[in-house]
Amino acid sequence: MTTIEEPTVPPPVRPDMRALVRELATARRRAEDGPGPDATRAQRAKGKLTVRDRLDLLFDPGSFREIERFRRHRSSGFGLEHRRPATDGVVTGWGTVSGRTVFAYAHDFRIFGGSLGEAHAEKIQKLMDMAAAAGAPLVALSDGAGARIQEGVTALAGYGGIFERNVRFSGVIPQISVMLGPCAGGATYSPALTDFVFMVRGVAQMYITGPDVVRSVTGEDITHEQLGGAEVHATVSGASGFVYDTEQECLEDVRYLISLLPSNNREPAPPVVPSDRPDRRCERLVDIVPADGARAYDMRAVVEEIVDDGEFFEVHASWAENVICALARLDGHVTGIVANQPAVLAGVLDIHAAEKAARFVQMCDAFSIPLVTLVDVPGFLPGRDQEHGGIIRHGAKLLYAYCNASVPRVQVVLRKAYGGAYIVMDSRSIGADLSFAWPTNEIAVMGAEGAANVVFRREISTALDPEAVRAKLIEEYRTSLMHGYHAAERGLVDDVIDPADTRRVLIDALGTLRGKHAQLPLRKHGNPPT
């Protein structure tokens, strides 16, 4: 009888945990290294940091926790099936900034030019949902070439999901966009929907259509920088609130801004123990601000004198410079400051100034940051360009923002406060909780010269010496209706104060109002002017 031998079956290979851990470490390192040294050298040759360098600058050392590191796209066609790098061109996760949790996503330009595909978008959308659920700020480090053309409509749908979340979480968590590379087409709308936009000169651009399309359609020959560079958006379009020469400076100020903002709309902005005395007198103010309303001065010097340690963080410093919008601390508490700037266009309100201030007021109100308004305004800028450009609509934006704001609001009238511009700059009549004025205040429908020319037109025109009569009537009008106590006598100013006491008065007022609770009417939402 023949014996048939059973084939030898090799024993099962038991997994070696240490080998698997070593394999994991290798895979993680490869994902972090990206596509290789050549791509990294090319990134640095453009004057740009890598995605990991940027995250290291943004977050506290060792605090960043990445998620979906091994995510890859599932697309095929146009060669994509042969190129499936880990991360799919975007790094997502969270860490701490000065000890507070912050979420961030950062495009990796070395992978598909940072372009957005389906998997890329899903990673961002998941992170946005997590940030909102955790009630923590969200930072986007943008360095991408827009939608991934090879993925077609799914890439566009990915952007739609991001835009929808930008809107849904607006006023819920702070959203900050940091532009560190190109941003074209539909991709520009996400930064436009966020609360703050930072840009770096020479490396960041934003535009709907690039120079090639502009050239083919209009014949205009224009460079990337001229069309949508950082300087353009910081000074002309107003799309960027901050501009820097280096990424290091930019990300340092992103960290500083986060320190001034609450984590979400249910928490106050974090206070600090002040090193500046709350009762410090501001004696320099009487020298900074001339009593003569026709003389200019720099309102920044006033703000610097009033706030803690002279430190404030100005938004849109190079755009619509006739109004100042800044975050600062008073007695350690974050405060939003809106102020006319007499050093630029005499401090008048125009289209851009109204837009700039309105958005800032809305942001402060959304995140429960109290508002201080420093008024020295001769009116709205007159002229056909302003009227045809929609100064009525744009001025109404600022009016709407203040009227809608439920945070503590304190107004200080330094000198001129004329006409509708006085009302719009958070007067008592539109809901300011408290209004204070310096002895130099002039609150009136218009300046004495213009008022006299209108009210006393007949008397002046029929006088034997029109100029002498005009001068006499101007002085009479100023004495009767524009003296420093006229508004206080009518209850429209709560107190006339010594300019040197401005800091103390503001700190006391804001401390009193800190527990303010406004009962708003039930509604889905308002319909603000656009």
Task: Considering only CA atoms, give the Rg of the chain.
Answer: 29
CATH of the domain at 301: 3.90.226.10
φ/ψ of residue 417, rounded to 5: -150, 85
**Domain presence at residue 272:** no
pLDDT tens for each residue of 189-201: 999 999 999 999 9
Same domain as 94, residue 52: yes
Find the domain containing 174 and state its range: 36-260
Which pTM value belongs to this model? Answer: 0.91
**Domain presence at residue 400:** yes
Same domain as 161, residue 295: no
- DSSP H or E stretch at residue 177: strand 175-179
Same domain as 214, residue 100: yes
For the purposes of burial, counting CB atoms within 10 Å of the CB of 143, is it exposed (0-12), middle (13-18) or buried (19 or more)?
Answer: buried
**Domain presence at residue 297:** yes
Same domain as 301, residue 255: no
Same domain as 298, residue 247: no
Confidence (pLDDT) at 182? 87
* Residues classed as catalytic: 185-186, 420-421
**Domain presence at residue 381:** yes
Structure tokens that stand for 369 in this block: 């940051």
Confidence (pLDDT) at 397? 96
Same domain as 308, residue 183: no
Same domain as 330, residue 243: no
Bridge partners of 183, per DSSP, are: 206
For the purposes of burial, counting CB atoms within 10 Å of the CB of 113, is it exposed (0-12), middle (13-18) or buried (19 or more)?
Answer: middle
Same domain as 219, residue 131: yes
Please tell me the total count of domains within the chain.
Answer: 2
Same domain as 246, residue 97: yes
Same domain as 117, residue 53: yes
For the purposes of burial, counting CB atoms within 10 Å of the CB of 180, is it exposed (0-12), middle (13-18) or buried (19 or more)?
Answer: buried
Are 379 and 293 contacting, i.e. CB atoms less than 8 angstroms apart? no
**Domain presence at residue 310:** yes
For the purposes of burial, counting CB atoms within 10 Å of the CB of 130, is it exposed (0-12), middle (13-18) or buried (19 or more)?
Answer: middle
Confidence (pLDDT) at 453? 63
**Domain presence at residue 475:** no
Enter the DSSP assignment of 258: H
Structure tokens that stand for 248 in this block: 């290091």
Closest to 105 measured CA to CA, from 30, 18, 178, 45: 178
**Domain presence at residue 249:** yes
Where the chain has pLDDT below 50, the residues are none
Same domain as 340, residue 215: no
**Domain presence at residue 457:** no
Same domain as 214, residue 308: no
